[in-house]
Amino acid sequence: SHTKEQIQALLLGLVAKDGEIKNTHGLAIGSTPVEQTDIIGVLKSLESREIIKYETITREGLELTAEGSDIADNGSYEARVFGAVPASGGISIPDLKTTLGAVAQFGQGRAIKNKWVKKDGADLVRATTSIVDESQNILKAIRADGSAAHADEKTIKELKKQKVVQSVKTVSYRVMKGAHFTTDVKKEETDVTEEMLKSGDWKTATFKKYNFNAEGVQPRSGSLHPLLKVREEYRQIFLELGFSEMPTANYVESSFWNFDALFQPQQHPARDAHDTFFLSDPATSDRFPKDYMERVRQVHSHGGYGSIGYGYDWKQADAEKLLLRTHTTAVSSYMLYKLAQDYKKTGVWKSVKWFSIDKVFRNETLDATHLAEFHQVEGVVAGKGLTLGDLIGTLHNFFKKLGIQKLRFKPAYNPYTEPSMEIFAWHDGLDRWVEIGNSGMFRPEMLLPMGLPEDVSVIAWGLSTERPTMIKCGIDNIRKLAGHKCDLAFLNRDPIARLDK
Ligand code: PHE
């Protein structure tokens, strides 16, 4: 398109030459037409300085609909019927239908009425040797200039009713000289500058008038990160199922709650700095209950509660090491301990359904699907006599809410659950089973030292929010979702999260 300066020069040049522009319709620079929407911008700014005046000219014209265009290109339906009838012999009506489809039905009646074809028994035969397709000609003419003058009023009305043409309004302008008409438009200054003050140019400069009616720049609205949208959707599902949320605000935990309370031995590879981020300052904390700690030491070193334990020398120093939690199960273990204390105090057992959704940290090798921090979703149900069947049933209920119907389970290993199961879901788009989570029943070696009643069992499961969000947003690289390479515009454009139902 053209610049403002080009359009301004064109308009002012024409007004200077002819006294006015009768109609800006059809103006062009070189062979490129100038859009009326570009012209009005220039006119308004020139009018505000009284360089020109203008009037708006609106004109009702006609344009073809898609069907109208088809007729202009390929002939009216009645002409196509005529064309399909052989000059000698005829065509059966079913055959006509096979050649022309729906057009046969629409064109047949009018072709007979026009006396172009006639019925001969079960066939159609020609009633004339040649035809003039008036409708096609009219539509071609209308398409060329948009004028309604190519047919009488009745015909135009009929064409509109047939929805082959429709009215359009075109807007153009008449341009006349204003009180301060000039072709030498000085640039309008918007600010008094230091240079202007020094040189005295400010005395002769033309300043742009304030436009108090101008609309302000649309402020950009904030938007939730896709991960937060998915997190909100998960939260909603848990709340609908009657779960309450665990407090996950602390990213820093002691190894005790993250590992030891979960019966994860101190030699476990996950407790290595290669896998876990340990804190250096402060590096340790012993803020965990010492009587309970002694029971944890006992069960790790020597066993108890029907277990033989791991048989190693459990060290408090290792449990004191502070870390960025590697899973939200650290919060679950702390919450279950508190639940056991409440039970001990009151002697009343209350079943619980809990969930958490928050950040966890792992010292991962970063690649397209792994970051050093991600989000976990965790569900925990504690009740008397819960079984693996309850876990499987609960998982079915939970994933059904996410629109996932087909689940499969595979035996797995976690230090804190037995049995443990990886959860697989059938993914229609990928046409295969995808691993979506991990689950299990917490071990007695974990629950009994806490002080939970012996007949209480706890089922739990965990998944990430990143994987479903990536599938949801169609991104293949996690760095596009989180971190410094994340495109902020993408976050704004991203639609409201709806896990497919
Ligand atoms: N904590 C496990 C993980 O990080 C998930 C899990 C939670 C497994 C609860 C079993 C029970 O993968």
Q: Which residue has the least CA distance to atom 10 on ligand 1? A: 439
Say whether both 244 and 185 belong to one domain.
Answer: no
Q: Is it the case that residue 501 has pLDDT exceeding 50?
A: no
Cα of 488 vs centre of ligand 1, distance in Å, is: 32
How far does the centroid of ligand 1 lie from the alpha carbon of residue 330, in Å?
10
Residues 48, 158, single domain; the answer is no
How does 72-93 read in b/e, with b if 16+ C-beta sit within 10 Å? beebbbbbbbbbbbeeeebbee
Nearest to 243 by CA among 339, 405, 422, 382: 382
In the predicted model, is pLDDT for residue 218 greater than 80? no
Residues 6 or more apart in contact with residue 6 via CB below 8 angstroms: 29
User: Quick check: 329 and 461 in contact, CB under 8 A?
Assistant: no
SS3 sequence of 57-126: EEEEEEEECHHHHHHHHHCCHHHHHHHHCCCCCCEEHHHHHHHHCHHHHHHHHHHHHCCCEEEECCEEEE
How many domains would you assign to the chain? Answer: 3
d(CA 379, ligand 1 centre) in Å: 9
Taking residue 496's Cβ as centre, other Cβ atoms within 10 Å add up to 10
The string of pLDDT tens digits covering residues 440-477 is 999 999 999 999 999 999 999 999 888 877 776 777 78
Average pLDDT over residues 202-230: 83
Residue nearest to atom 5 of ligand 1 (CA): 462
Q: Has residue 135 been placed in a domain? A: yes
Residue 498's pLDDT is 60
Do residues 53 and 72 share a domain?
no
Least confident of 181-190, 238-247, 315-324, 356-365: 181-190
Residue 109, domain member (yes or no): yes
Distance (angstroms) between ligand 1 centre and the Cα of 159 equals 70
**Would 498 be classed as within a structural domain?**
no
> 250 — phi, psi (to 5°)?
-95, 120
Give nearest CA residue, ligand 1 atom 6: 462
CB 51 within 8 A of CB 180: yes
What is the spatial distance between Cα 439 and Cα 332, in angstroms, rounded to a whole number?
A: 13
Asked if residue 500 is part of any domain, the answer here is no
- Domain ranges, residue 175: 4-64+167-203
Say if residue 121 is in the same domain as residue 190. Answer: no
Query: Where in 289-397 does DSSP place strands (E)?
Result: 322-324, 352-361, 373-384
- With a Cβ cut-off of 6 Å, ligand 1 is lined by 327, 329, 378, 414, 417, 438-440, 460-462
Q: Whose C-alpha lies nearest to ligand 1, atom 9?
A: 461
User: What's the CATH code of the domain at 133?
Assistant: 1.10.10
Q: Are 436 and 305 in a shared domain? A: yes
Same domain assignment for residues 110 and 242: no
Amino acid at 235: R
Supply the CATH number for residue 271's domain.
Answer: 3.30.930.10
Residue 221 within any structural domain of the chain: no
Whole-angstrom distance, CA of residue 475 vs CA of residue 86: 59
Distance 54 CA to ligand 1 centre (A): 73
ipTM associated with this complex: 0.96
- Both 23 and 150 in one domain: the answer is no
Residues 245 and 368 in one domain: yes
CA of 439 to the centre of ligand 1 (A): 6
The pLDDT score that the predictor gives to residue 200 is 95
Q: Which of 14, 2, 7, 1 is nearest to 42 (CA)?
A: 7
The Å distance, Cα 462 to ligand 1 centre, comes to 5
Residues 273 and 292 in one domain: yes
User: Count of CB atoms within 10 A of residue 278's CB?
Assistant: 15
Atom of ligand 1 nearest to the CA of 328: 1
- Secondary structure of residue 51 in the 3-state scheme: coil
* Closest approach atom of ligand 1 to CA 380: 9
Q: What pLDDT sits at residue 364? A: 87
How long is the chain? Answer: 501
**Mean pLDDT value across residues 241-269:** 96
pLDDT tens digits for 116-156?
A: 999 998 899 999 999 999 999 999 999 988 888 899 999 99
The residue contributing the CA closest to ligand 1 atom 8 is 439
Q: Is residue 209 part of a domain?
A: no
**Mean pLDDT throughout 353-362?**
97
Residues 116 and 247 both lie in one domain? no
171 and 103 share one domain: no
Closest protein CA for atom 4 of ligand 1: 327
CB 404 within 8 A of CB 243: no
Atom of ligand 1 nearest to the CA of 326: 4
> 409 alpha carbon to ligand 1 midpoint, in Å?
14
